[in-house]
């Protein structure tokens, strides 16, 4: 399963793991930032990116401790970030064909690199034009099983024995042609294993996706594939810790987060959320974002305060990366160039971080999780008449204590 990944120097780059020893300082540096500045200059990171046919290929490897009773379970993950290929004013068939051609090139590169499980970005076969609120873009919606993107990727999945996660705009013809934001999971035999529909839909400017589709109705499925158990948390779902938790409770070992997001809104959170989810849930997270600025044919109002009508949302910032359960992560792909990230992940690391029953099982987050406590709280919270558990400082002046008491009574 672990053929060498083609890189400039023929080797994949090992990822630094969290230190195991007691704190021995940080090599004389006063902060992590100072250490990084001196030791990870930008030109070194860029030197690791190899360019093939106008896109970057980067590769890394997460290792786990060698166990006595289990063999390593190394799975090669692939993440693809790309842009639209031609003007959004061109006929839809031309736009889609151009994206298909480019993505096929990238998928073939992943196949040749020996990728086992590959994931594309959110709504990959189309411009992310939901911000326009124009109905015409619905034409890109397609059937999850018989649609053109599944046909293309199924044939590539068989050829490279690859599991491919394909996030698309789905039209459900069996249910009155309703549209969903869906990830189709295609098995290594080219079969559709199943699909997951986006659970949390942004109702925020400038995304406004709720004009097109509702919150998903597929729960938190985990797909048992030949390479391991995978799940998909689509874009805005990454802001919801319980969404991440649910995939973990169902046994996910790798959760993919195909996204379409812009710098002005989310870039400060990008490096934190997927990484935190990987730590808290003891699984790998692969976060993928598209690149480039998409100019739509007609100006639209974004709802962003102070912003007049415009034809774009600002650039999607790429930066796709993988985070591991031991708090390590890969560097990200470029902010503005298309790319393929290839990452070897030993899935034994999930259990090594999880558990809590032996010296190898390091953190025991699941064992110490107190699920009944939270189940009780959530069960109470969703009922009308819920009283927040607030204890008022009796020394507060009367107006403050009246306010707190009102709040407690739900007034
Ligand atoms: N596609 C999507 O859900 N975008 C919302 C913005 C974000 O979550 O960063």
Tens of pLDDT, residue by residue over 148-174, are 999 999 999 999 999 999 999 999 999
- What is the pLDDT of the chain when averaged over all its residues? 90
Closest ligand 1 atom to residue 235 Cα is: 3
Task: Look at 399 and 285; give whichever has higher pLDDT.
Answer: 285
DSSP one-letter code for 91? -
Task: Report the candidate in 174, 192, 261, 191 with the shortest Cα–Cα distance to residue 183.
Answer: 192
The residue extents of the domains of the chain are: 13-23+40-353, 371-409
Do the bridges between strand 192-197 and strand 163-172 make them parallel or antiparallel, or are there none, so unpaired? unpaired
- Supply the pLDDT for residue 82: 98
- Supply the pLDDT for residue 8: 36
3-state secondary structure of 119: strand
pLDDT at 1 over 60: no
Let me know: does 230 contact 222? Beta carbons within 8 Å: yes
As annotated, the active-site residues are 122, 198, 235
Q: CA–CA distance from 181 to each of 117, 246, 272, 404 (Å)?
A: 21, 19, 24, 42
Task: Look at 388 and 33; give whichever has higher pLDDT.
Answer: 388
- Supply the pLDDT for residue 397: 76
- 144 pLDDT band (50/70/90 cuts)? very high
pLDDT at 226 over 70: yes
Closest ligand 1 atom to residue 198 Cα is: 3
pLDDT at 6 over 60: no
pLDDT at 18 over 80: no
Q: Which tens digit of pLDDT belongs to each residue from 325-341?
A: 999 999 999 999 999 99
- Supply the pLDDT for residue 336: 96
DSSP one-letter code for 123? T
Is 401 near ligand 1, meaning CB less than 6 Å away? no
Which of 235-249, 344-358, 385-399 has the lowest average pLDDT? 344-358
Which of 14-28, 155-169, 188-202, 300-314 has the lowest average pLDDT? 14-28
pLDDT at 31 over 60: yes
Contacts of 71 (CB under 8 A, 6+ apart): none
- 411 pLDDT band (50/70/90 cuts)? low
Q: How far apart are the C-alpha atoms of 295 and 298, rounded to whole Å?
A: 9
Let me know: does 340 contact 108? Beta carbons within 8 Å: no
Residue with CA at minimum distance from ligand 1 atom 9 = 261
Kindly give the distance from the C-alpha atom of residue 11 to the centroid of ligand 1, in angstroms, as a whole number.
34
- Supply the pLDDT for residue 404: 64
CA max distance for the chain: 73
What are the two backbone dihedrals, phi and then psi, of residue 232, each rounded to the nearest 5 degrees?
-130, 120
- Supply the pLDDT for residue 53: 80
- Supply the pLDDT for residue 9: 36
Share of the chain above pLDDT 70, in %: 84
Q: Which tens digit of pLDDT belongs to each residue from 296-307?
A: 999 999 998 899
Q: How far apart are the C-alpha atoms of 311 and 299, rounded to whole Å?
A: 4
Kindly give the distance from the C-alpha atom of residue 353 to the centroid of ligand 1, in angstroms, as a whole number.
29
pLDDT at 360 over 60: no
Is 237 near ligand 1, meaning CB less than 6 Å away? no
ipTM above threshold 0.95: yes
- Supply the pLDDT for residue 25: 60
Q: How far apart are the C-alpha atoms of 171 and 140, rounded to whole Å?
A: 9
Q: Which tens digit of pLDDT belongs to each residue from 242-269?
A: 999 999 999 999 999 999 999 989 999 9
Is 214 near ligand 1, meaning CB less than 6 Å away? no
Residue with CA at minimum distance from ligand 1 atom 1 = 260
Q: How far apart are the C-alpha atoms of 284 and 304, rounded to whole Å?
A: 34
**Sign of the torsion formed by the C-alpha atoms of 269, 271, 272 and 274:** positive
- What average pLDDT does range 191-195 have in this prediction? 98
- What average pLDDT does range 182-190 have in this prediction? 99
- What average pLDDT does range 385-395 have in this prediction? 96
Tokens in use for 209? 């996706």
- Supply the pLDDT for residue 43: 54
Kindly give the distance from the C-alpha atom of residue 246 to the centroid of ligand 1, in angstroms, as a whole number.
19
- 47 pLDDT band (50/70/90 cuts)? very low
- 32 pLDDT band (50/70/90 cuts)? low
**Sign of the torsion formed by the C-alpha atoms of 207, 248, 168 and 95:** positive
- Supply the pLDDT for residue 39: 72
Taking the CB of residue 85, how many other CB atoms lie within 10 A of it? 18
- Supply the pLDDT for residue 38: 76
Beta strands in 217-272 (DSSP E): 223-225, 228-232, 254-259
CATH classification number, 13-23+40-353, choose in 3.60.110.10, 3.40.50.920, 1.10.238.10, 3.40.50.1460: 3.60.110.10
pLDDT at 374 over 90: yes
Share of the chain above pLDDT 90, in %: 78
Residue tagged 């249910």 (tokens):
175
pLDDT at 292 over 90: yes
- Supply the pLDDT for residue 265: 93
Let me know: does 252 contact 230? Beta carbons within 8 Å: yes
Closest ligand 1 atom to residue 261 Cα is: 9
């Amino acid at each position: 399963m672990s053929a060498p990944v083609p890189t400039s120097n023929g080797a994949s780059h090992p990822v630094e793991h969290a230190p195991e020893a007691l704190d021995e300082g940080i090599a004389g540096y006063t902060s992590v930032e100072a250490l990084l500045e001196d030791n990870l200059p930008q030109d070194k990171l860029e030197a690791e990116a190899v360019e093939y046919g106008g896109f970057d290929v980067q590769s890394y490897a997460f290792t786990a401790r060698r166990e006595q009773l289990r063999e390593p379970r190394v799975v090669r993950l692939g993440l693809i970030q790309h842009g639209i290929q031609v003007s959004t004013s061109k006929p839809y068939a031309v736009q889609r064909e151009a994206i298909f051609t480019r993505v096929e090139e990238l998928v073939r590169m992943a196949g040749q690199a020996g990728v086992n499980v590959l994931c594309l970005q959110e709504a990959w076969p189309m411009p992310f034009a939901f911000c326009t609120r124009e109905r015409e873009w619905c034409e890109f919606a397609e059937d999850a099983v018989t649609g053109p993107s599944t046909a293309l990727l199924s044939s590539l999945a068989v050829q490279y024995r690859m599991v491919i996660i394909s996030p698309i705009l789905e039209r459900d013809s069996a249910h009155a042609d309703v549209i969903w934001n869906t990830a189709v999971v295609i098995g290594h035999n080219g079969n559709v294993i199943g699909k997951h529909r986006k659970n949390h839909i942004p109702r925020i400017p400038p995304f406004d996706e709720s004009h097109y589709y509702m919150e998903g109705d597929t729960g938190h499925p985990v797909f048992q594939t030949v390479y391991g158990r995978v799940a998909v948390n689509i874009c805005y779902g990454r802001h919801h810790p319980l969404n991440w938790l649910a995939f973990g409770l169902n046994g996910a070992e790798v959760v993919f987060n195909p996204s379409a997001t812009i710098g002005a809104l989310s870039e400060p959170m990008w490096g934190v959320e997927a990484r935190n989810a990987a730590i808290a849930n003891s699984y790998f997270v692969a976060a993928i974002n598209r690149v480039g600025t998409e100019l739509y044919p007609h100006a639209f109002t974004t709802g962003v305060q102070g912003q007049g009508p415009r034809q774009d949302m600002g650039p999607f910032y790429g930066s796709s990366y993988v985070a591991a359960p031991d708090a390590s992560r890969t560097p990200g792909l470029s902010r503005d160039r298309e790319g393929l990230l290839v990452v070897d992940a030993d899935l034994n690391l999930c259990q090594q971080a999880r558990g809590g029953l032996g010296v190898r099982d390091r953190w025991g987050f699941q064992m110490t999780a107190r699920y009944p406590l939270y189940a009780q709280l959530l069960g109470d919270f969703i009922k009308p008449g819920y009283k927040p558990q607030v204890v008022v400082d009796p020394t507060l002046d009367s107006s403050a204590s009246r306010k707190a008491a009102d709040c407690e009574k739900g007034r």
